[in-house]
């Protein structure tokens, strides 16, 4: 293989003849001048043979970076001639190495940019290459839609432990910009072992989780042994119906959130009383911005905060009781033996009744309803920690994209960044030179 062949293969060029190359080290630019091979030209409309040459039309195509040259431009002399299959109409010759959706970019450049956009925002990739950001966004969307039919789970994937959780995002209707942003939800199905999102669906109801579980085969559904969810009845109904061997585990993070919510309701009531009595110290200690300090573990607080907290406990009995209930509840969840858990829980119930704090009485009622699922958590210690970690990654994704208004785009991006919709799991090596026939002929439109 000669030097010319190396250049042509590296740039993904096909059916062309290399004429010359111009290099500029100062601005890292490389210009490659090529001409279509007359003997291999086919009509771009019917694919038939082109007879007499009408003209050679100049065209610029964005090429992929090569070596030290970041900006590569392919200057193509494209054949226009009389097509024998189109009754002697003047047609342009087909250019096989350009993308069907973005014709001024080569396939190699599009795949190079697509893999880069798997790890960074489209705007950042656009600045990196010096191209239009909207064009890069459209390219990313088309590429993800092309990859979705090829996405599949690894054959050796371990689905014994699963979890489901939802994420929310705000979208503004494009037609009526004066309306308030609408909050929407996306349900993600997460594999605990792989730490990946397997599927997602719009909404947070039973239909959403049902749609996610359809991506699994009957044998895979039977292989699920533990399923962690928050205390959401629609999710639990679907899991019982579709995953008969799965044990439903209550999510510890959600239980802790409900406990902290009960404490915050007590804080609000005591804050209102302090406001009515004019107690400046309690107003400051019970202010909304200090609510996290009140439920924080003592070893994480400063000496000043500990002193002020001790004074608050002396002045406010209800806050003291609420803090004791929160601390004891976390110790209950730390139990590893079901018998010990039941004993500790009974003691906690008694403390709640003695405190007569209405928010905690309400929380205790909820806990009794889902006690079996809480005990399943004690047995398995399965939580939605992986889901929560992925949720944080998705929040970063939202901030990097400055929010999302296109729901399908957001769902695809979640699967790309947190799932299997990327080149790490889908082999797109051949896409540097040629797209699959069915995808090249009918690319998704955006």
pLDDT single digits (tens) 164-209: 888 888 776 555 555 667 788 899 999 988 889 999 999 989 999 9
Model confidence pLDDT, tens digit, residues 265-303: 999 998 888 888 888 888 888 888 776 667 666 666 677
Class of domain 161-251+384-418: alpha beta
Query: What is residue 7's predicted lDDT score, i.e. its pLDDT?
Result: 84
In contact, 214 and 182? CB cutoff 8 Å: no
Query: What is residue 342's predicted lDDT score, i.e. its pLDDT?
Result: 93
Residue labelled with tokens 């009383």: 273
Query: What is residue 238's predicted lDDT score, i.e. its pLDDT?
Result: 94
In angstroms, rounded to a whole number, what is the distance separating the alpha carbons of residues 408 and 399?
17
- Is the confidence at residue 441, as pLDDT, over 70? no
Q: Look up residue 287 and give its DSSP letter.
A: S
Q: Considering all CA atoms of the chain, what is the largest pairwise distance in Å, rounded to the nearest integer?
A: 99
- Give 8-30 as a DSSP string: HHHTT--SEEEEEEEEETTTTEE
Q: Give me 293's structure tokens.
A: 């300090």
Q: Give me 72's structure tokens.
A: 């590569």
Q: Give me 399's structure tokens.
A: 């901030």
Residue labelled with tokens 């990739």: 125
Confidence of residue 442 (pLDDT cuts 50, 70, 90): low
In angstroms, rounded to a whole number, what is the distance separating the alpha carbons of residues 316 and 319?
6
In contact, 168 and 184? CB cutoff 8 Å: yes
The percent helix, strand, coil of the chain (3-state, each to 5) is 50, 20, 30
In angstroms, rounded to a whole number, what is the distance separating the alpha carbons of residues 257 and 194?
26
Per-residue pLDDT, averaged over 406-420, amounts to 88
Label the pairing between strands 196-202 and 182-191. Answer: antiparallel
In angstroms, rounded to a whole number, what is the distance separating the alpha carbons of residues 250 and 381?
10
Task: Please give the residue that has the higher pLDDT: either 219 or 5.
Answer: 219
Model confidence pLDDT, tens digit, residues 143-156: 999 999 999 888 88
The proportion of the chain whose per-residue pLDDT surpasses 90, expressed as a percent, equals 40
Query: What is residue 284's predicted lDDT score, i.e. its pLDDT?
Result: 84
Query: What is residue 223's predicted lDDT score, i.e. its pLDDT?
Result: 93
Query: What is residue 332's predicted lDDT score, i.e. its pLDDT?
Result: 93
Each domain of the chain, given as residue ranges in start order, spans 1-97, 105-151+424-446, 161-251+384-418, 252-380
Model confidence pLDDT, tens digit, residues 57-79: 999 999 999 888 989 999 999 98
Burial class of 16 by CB neighbour count within 10 A (0 to 12, 13 to 18, 19+): buried
Burial class of 174 by CB neighbour count within 10 A (0 to 12, 13 to 18, 19+): exposed
Mean pLDDT across the chain: 86
In angstroms, rounded to a whole number, what is the distance separating the alpha carbons of residues 179 and 341?
50
Confidence of residue 1 (pLDDT cuts 50, 70, 90): low
- Is the confidence at residue 324, as pLDDT, over 80? yes
Query: What is residue 176's predicted lDDT score, i.e. its pLDDT?
Result: 55
Model confidence pLDDT, tens digit, residues 219-232: 999 999 999 888 88
In contact, 284 and 276? CB cutoff 8 Å: no
Per-residue pLDDT, averaged over 313-338, amounts to 89
Query: What is residue 391's predicted lDDT score, i.e. its pLDDT?
Result: 77
């Amino acid at each position: 293989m000669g030097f010319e062949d190396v250049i042509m293969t590296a740039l993904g060029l096909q059916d062309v003849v290399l004429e010359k190359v111009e290099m500029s080290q100062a601005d890292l630019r490389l210009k490659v001048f090529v001409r279509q091979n007359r003997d291999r030209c086919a009509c771009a409309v019917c694919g038939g043979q082109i007879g007499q040459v009408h003209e050679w039309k100049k065209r610029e195509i964005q090429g992929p970076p090569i070596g030290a040259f970041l900006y590569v431009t392919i200057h193509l002399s494209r054949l226009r001639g009389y097509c024998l299959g189109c009754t002697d109409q003047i047609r342009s010759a087909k250019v096989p190495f350009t993308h069907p959706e973005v014709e001024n970019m080569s396939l190699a450049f599009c795949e190079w940019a697509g893999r880069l956009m798997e790890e960074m925002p489209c705007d950042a990739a656009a600045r990196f290459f010096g191209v239009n950001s909207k064009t890069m966004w459209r390219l990313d969307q088309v590429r993800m839609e092309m990859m979705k039919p090829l996405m599949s789970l690894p054959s050796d994937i371990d689905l014994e432990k699963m979890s489901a959780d939802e994420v929310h995002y705000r979208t503004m209707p494009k037609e009526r910009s004066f309306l308030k942003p609408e909050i929407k939800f996306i349900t993600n199905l997460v594999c605990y072992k792989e730490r990946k999102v397997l599927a997602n669906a719009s909404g947070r109801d039973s239909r959403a989780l049902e749609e996610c579980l359809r991506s699994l085969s009957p044998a895979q559904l039977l292989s699920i042994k533990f399923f962690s969810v928050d205390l959401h009845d629609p999710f639990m109904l679907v899991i019982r119906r579709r995953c008969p061997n799965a044990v439903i585990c209550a999510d510890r993070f959600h239980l802790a959130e409900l406990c902290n919510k009960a404490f915050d309701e007590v804080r609000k009531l005591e804050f209102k009383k302090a406001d009515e009595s004019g107690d400046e110290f309690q107003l400051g200690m019970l202010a909304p911005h200090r609510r996290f300090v009140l439920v924080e573990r003592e070893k994480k607080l400063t000496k000043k905060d500990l002193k002020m907290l001790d004074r608050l406990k002396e002045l406010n009995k209800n806050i003291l009781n609420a803090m004791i209930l929160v601390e004891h509840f976390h110790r209950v969840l730390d139990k590893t033996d079901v018998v010990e858990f039941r004993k500790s829980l009974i003691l906690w119930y008694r403390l709640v009744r003695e405190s007569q704090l209405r928010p905690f009485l309400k929380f205790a009622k909820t806990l009794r309803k889902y006690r079996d699922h809480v005990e399943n958590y004690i047995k398995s210690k399965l939580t939605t920690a992986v889901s929560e970690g992925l949720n944080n990654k998705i929040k970063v994704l939202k901030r990097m994209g400055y929010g999302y208004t296109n729901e399908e785009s957001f769902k695809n991006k979640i699967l790309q960044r947190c799932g299997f919709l990327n080149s790490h799991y889908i082999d797109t090596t051949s896409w540097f030179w040629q797209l699959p026939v069915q995808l090249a002929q009918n690319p998704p439109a955006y």
